[in-house]
Structure 1
Amino acid sequence: MPFYHPVLRLSQGDMANISAQRRPLSDGEGQQQAGFVQGLLGVTSPLFLIGLCLSTPAQAQLNSDVLRPSIGLTASVDSNVLGLSSPEAALAATGTRSLSDSAWTAFAGVDYRQLFGRQLITANVANSRTKFNRLSRLDYRGENANADWAWQLGNNWNGNAGYFRTVTLAPFTDFHVLDSNTNTMSRRYLSAAWRIHPDWQLHGEATRYAVDYSLPVQRQYDRSENQGGVGLDYTTRSGNSVGVQWRLLIGHLPHQLLGVDRLANDYRQQQIELKSDWQVSGKSHLKFAGSLVERRHEVYPERNFRGYNGRMTLTVAATGSTLITVATWRETGIFDELSTVYSTNRGSQLGARWNATSKITVEGTLRRESRDFTRSVQFSTAPDYRDVLRTSQLSVKYVPLARLNFELLVFDSGKGNSSGLGEYARHGASLSSRYQF
C-alpha cells in the first residue's frame, strides 16, 4: 500500500497502536518517573539491537530462513488526496480545481529472523519511494527499521526489548498542507513478565516514544512520551485470562511554549485498567479493557480530564473459512496524533475475512467514529465542536505463489462536523504486489 494514505493498511501495522490510549498522571513525581523510564530504556538502544543482528552466524545468508529480501510496487488513485472540502478549496491550496491524483510506490526491504537457543531476534529494514502524478510536492522517501529481542530466562521469566523507527507522509485527516510533510516516529521499549504461580503472572513495561515533523511550520507538534506500567494477570487452565494494570504517561512538547511564563505544553496521564481475554466458546473470542483515566496539563488546567475509557472486541468464526469481528469503544484520543488537544472518541467497527480458496482472501471493514472536542482549549471559540469519521474498505488478496502476492483494495471515507467547515469525502483504490526472495 502507498505509505501516504491514512486509510490503507501500512506494512508497519502495529504502529497505529503506539499511543492509542493516552493515560493521565500526577504532578510531584513526574520528573523522577520520567528519568527512571528513560534510564531503563537505555538497555534497548538501536546500537545494541543492531549489534545483536550483526552477530548472526555464517549460515545466515540471503534466500534462507534467516535473511529474506523483498520488493514491491503499488499503484494507487485517490479522489481527494488532501482531504479538501471543495474544488474551490483545492484551487486555493493547489492552484487547480482538481482534488484527485494517482501515485506509484516502490519499496525494497529485508527481514531477519534468528533463534539463539531460547532467544528469538527479529528485524526488518525497508525503504520506499512514492511519486505522485500531479501533486509532485508530496513526493517523499519512506523508511522503516525495527528490531525485537523476544527473551526468555528460565521457565518463569520472559519479555521483549526492541526499537522501531518509521518515516511516512503525515496524514491529511485534519491538516491539509500541499507539501511533503513527513513525520519520523520512533519507539524504544522493554517489557518483562514473571510467572509467580502456574495461574498468576506479574508484568511490567517501559516505552520511550517520539514523533518529529519535517516542515518547520509543524515543528510545534513534535512530541515525546515516556510510558510505563505494571500489572497482574490470572490465567485459567484453558488459556482465558483476567487482569488489572496501572499505567502512566508523561508527554513533552518542546516547541509549544504557553502562558505568561512560556512553559512547555507538557501533560501527564495515569489510569487503572481492568482487562479480560476470554474464549467464550469454540467459535467466539471476547476481549475487553476498561479503565479510569486522569489527564493533567502543565498549562491551562481547564483541559484536564477525568473519566473512563473502554474497548470491547468480539471475534466469531462463523464458518471454517469466515471470521467476523465486531468492536466498540469509548476512548480519550489525541488530535491527529499531533498535540495535547484531545477528544472523547466513541466508535464501532465491523470487519469480516473470508478465505475463499487457499490462494484468495477477501476482507471488508466498516468503521465509524465520533470525536468530541468540547473540552479542548483549541476550540474554545466553538465549544460544541464535534466531528465524525467514517471509513469502508474492501480488499482481495491473491497469492499465486508462496513468495508472491497481489492485493486490490478499494475504499470510501469522509469527515463531517458540527460546524460544516472542513468536511470532505474521498474514495479510491490501490493495486499492490510483493515478492519475497
Structure 2
Amino acid sequence: MPAPSALHRLSPLALCAGAFWCLPAGAASTAPAESLQPFAGIGWAHDDNLLRQADGAPAFGNGRSDSYRTVEAGLVLDKHISRQRIAATAKVSKTAFDHFKQLDYIGHDLQAMWFWHIGTQFDGRLEMLDSRTLAPYTDFNSDQRNLRQQRRQIIDAGWTLHPGWKLRAGAERDKASYDLAIQRFNTRTEKAFDTELLYQSRGGSALGLVARRVKGSYPYRRPAIGTVLTDDFTQDELKLRINWLATGSTTVQGLAGYARREQPSYGEGATSGVNGRINAFYTPRGPLSYQAGMWREFAPVESPFVSYTLNRGASIGVNWAASARVALEASATYERRTYTARGDFTGAAALRDAIRSASVRTVWQVRPGVKVVAAYVRQARTASALGTGKFDANVVQVSANVLF
C-alpha cells in the first residue's frame, strides 16, 4: 500500500477536544465477518488547558480548563464476497463543551475499504475516507471553532511475479481544509504516487525498495512582509521498507531512506536528507508486550506562519493484559520540531521547539461488544519564536462503547 503521508500519520501529539472519541477502539475488529452492526458511544473528558495557551498568557474567556461530552453512533460493515473483502465504518458524533460553548460541533467519520483479488497473481486495495473534526490548538492562539475536513482516496495494486517477489504501485490523494479564516492558509491537497519491488522470504520477513513522489498544493497564499509565500512543494523519496521477524517474539518494521523536498517557503527552496520511521515490537509469552519507535520526517503544522516542520522523535510503550477483560497501556513520546529557516523571519535558524506527551489508558472489556476506557494524558511544549510559548496540559477521559 502507499506509504502514509505526513498529512494523516497518526500521532499522540494531535490531541484536541473531540479527538478522543473517534471510532470505538476495536469496534471494527470486534465485528464478526459477514456482518453489518450498529454501535454507539458516550464519553466525558476534562482538559486543564483546552486551547493550549502559553504559561502566563491571558486566558480566553477567563478560563483555561473545560469539560466536554461526546455522543456518537454509527455502523460497522465487514463482509467477504468470494475472495473479495469490504470493510466500512460510518459514524456521526456530537461534542458539547461546558465553558467554551462556541466550540460545540457535529462531526463525522466515513471510511470504506475494498481488498480485491484477481486470480492468484493480482491483488490490491481501494480506500476512501471523509472525516470532520475539531483541529488541535497546539500551534495557534484562538478560542474560535476550527473544524478540519479531511478527504482521502487511495488505490493500490500488486502483481506477484514469483512466490517471493511482488511488484506494487499505488496512488493517493489527500485533502485537508479548515473553516477558520486564520487557518485557511493550511488548506492543502497532497497527491502521492509510488512503486515498490518487494521480496518476502519463506519465514515471513520482507524487504522492499520504494520510490515515491508527493506533490502538495496550497490554494491560499500565505501573507508575509511585503509579499506572499508559496507553500506548494514536491518531495521525492527512495526508501527501504522492512518487516523483519527477528525472533518469534520480536518484529522490526520500518520505511526509511532518502528524501528531497523542494518548497519555496523553505530558505533556499530545497532540503534533503534521511527521512522515515522505524518501529519495533516485542511480544514475549505472558501478559506484557512492548513497542518503541523513532522517526525523522516532514509533517504539516497548523500554524498561521509556516506549513511544515522537520520532526525528530522517539516513542516507547508497554501493554499489560492484566486479565482476559482488563488491559493497561502506557506510552511516552518526545518530538523535536525544526522550522526550516526562512528569510522573512529574524533569527529563523533558532526556530524550534519540542513536544513531550505521556499517557496511561485502561481498557475494560465488560462483555463482548461492550468496552469501557479510562485514560490520563499529559502534554507539554517548550517555547518557540512563532507566537507560541511554553505550555503544559493534563487530560482525563472516560468513554463507553457498545457494538450491538
The two structures have a TM-score, normalised by structure 2, of 0.88
Question: What residue number does 1:375 align with?
Answer: 341
2:278 aligned residue (284, 299, 312): 312
Q: 1:292 to 1:340 in 2, by over 3 A?
A: farther
Alpha-carbon deviation of 1:336? 3.6
Alpha-carbon deviation of 1:68? 0.5
User: In 2, are the aligned partners of 1:6 and 1:173 still within 8 Å (CA)?
Assistant: no
Unaligned runs of 5+ in 2: 1-13, 26-30
User: In 2, are the aligned partners of 1:3 and 1:142 still within 8 Å (CA)?
Assistant: no
Indicate yes or no: 2:32 matched with 1:67. Answer: no
Kindly provide the CA deviation profile for residues 122-175 of structure 1, in whole angstroms up to 9, marking residues without a partner as x: 111110000000110111111111111110010111110121000010101112
User: In 1, are the aligned partners of 2:326 and 2:362 still within 8 Å (CA)?
Assistant: yes
Indicate yes or no: 2:116 matched with 1:151. Answer: yes
Alpha-carbon deviation of 1:115? 1.4
Which letter does structure 1 place at the counterpart of 2:244? W
Question: What residue number does 1:34 align with?
Answer: none
Indicate yes or no: 2:79 matched with 1:114. Answer: yes
Corresponding residue SS for 1:89: coil
Which letter does structure 1 place at the counterpart of 2:395? G
Indicate yes or no: 2:156 matched with 1:191. Answer: yes
Question: What residue number does 2:172 align with?
Answer: 207
> In the aligned structure 2, how far is the partner of 1:199 from the partner of 1:377?
50
User: In 2, are the aligned partners of 1:341 and 1:377 still within 8 Å (CA)?
Assistant: no
User: What CA RMSD, in Å, does the superposition of the two structures yield over aligned residues?
Assistant: 2.6
Kindly provide the CA deviation profile for residues 64-109 of structure 1, in whole angstroms up to 9, marking residues without a partner as x: 942110010001000100000135421xxx231x211100000001
Indicate yes or no: 2:55 matched with 1:126. Answer: no
User: In 1, are the aligned partners of 2:266 and 2:341 still within 8 Å (CA)?
Assistant: no
Indicate yes or no: 2:231 matched with 1:219. Answer: no
Corresponding residue SS for 1:99: coil
2:212 aligned residue (235, 238, 247): 247
User: In 2, are the aligned partners of 1:326 and 1:348 still within 8 Å (CA)?
Assistant: yes
> In the aligned structure 2, how far is the partner of 1:338 from the partner of 1:127?
29
Q: 1:373 to 1:88 in 2, by over 3 A?
A: closer
> In the aligned structure 1, how far is the partner of 2:186 from the partner of 2:398?
33
Q: What count of residue pairs does the alignment treat as equivalent?
A: 384
Corresponding residue SS for 2:140: coil
The two structures have a TM-score, normalised by structure 1, of 0.82
Q: 1:274 to 1:168 in 2, by over 3 A?
A: same
User: In 2, are the aligned partners of 1:391 and 1:413 still within 8 Å (CA)?
Assistant: yes
> In the aligned structure 2, how far is the partner of 1:314 from the partner of 1:127?
34
Kindly provide the CA deviation profile for residues 239-268 of structure 1, in whole angstroms up to 9, marking residues without a partner as x: 101110100011111111679996853111
Indicate yes or no: 2:89 matched with 1:89. Answer: no
User: In 2, are the aligned partners of 1:269 and 1:294 still within 8 Å (CA)?
Assistant: yes
User: In 2, are the aligned partners of 1:130 and 1:139 still within 8 Å (CA)?
Assistant: yes
What does 1:352-363 correspond to in 2, within 5 Å?
A: 352-363=318-329
> In the aligned structure 2, how far is the partner of 1:343 from the partner of 1:12?
31
Report which of the two has the higher share of strand.
2
User: In 2, are the aligned partners of 1:160 and 1:191 still within 8 Å (CA)?
Assistant: yes
Alpha-carbon deviation of 1:220? 1.8
Alpha-carbon deviation of 1:380? 4.6
Question: What residue number does 1:403 align with?
Answer: 369
User: In 1, are the aligned partners of 2:288 and 2:319 still within 8 Å (CA)?
Assistant: yes
Report which of the two has the higher share of helix.
1
Percentage of pairs with the same residue = 26
Unaligned runs of 5+ in 1: 14-61
What does 1:266-415 correspond to in 2, within 5 Å?
A: 266-298=232-264, 302-336=268-302, 341-376=307-342, 379-415=345-381
Kindly provide the CA deviation profile for residues 337-376 of structure 1, in whole angstroms up to 9, marking residues without a partner as x: 8886332211111101111111001100011111111434
Corresponding residue SS for 2:213: strand
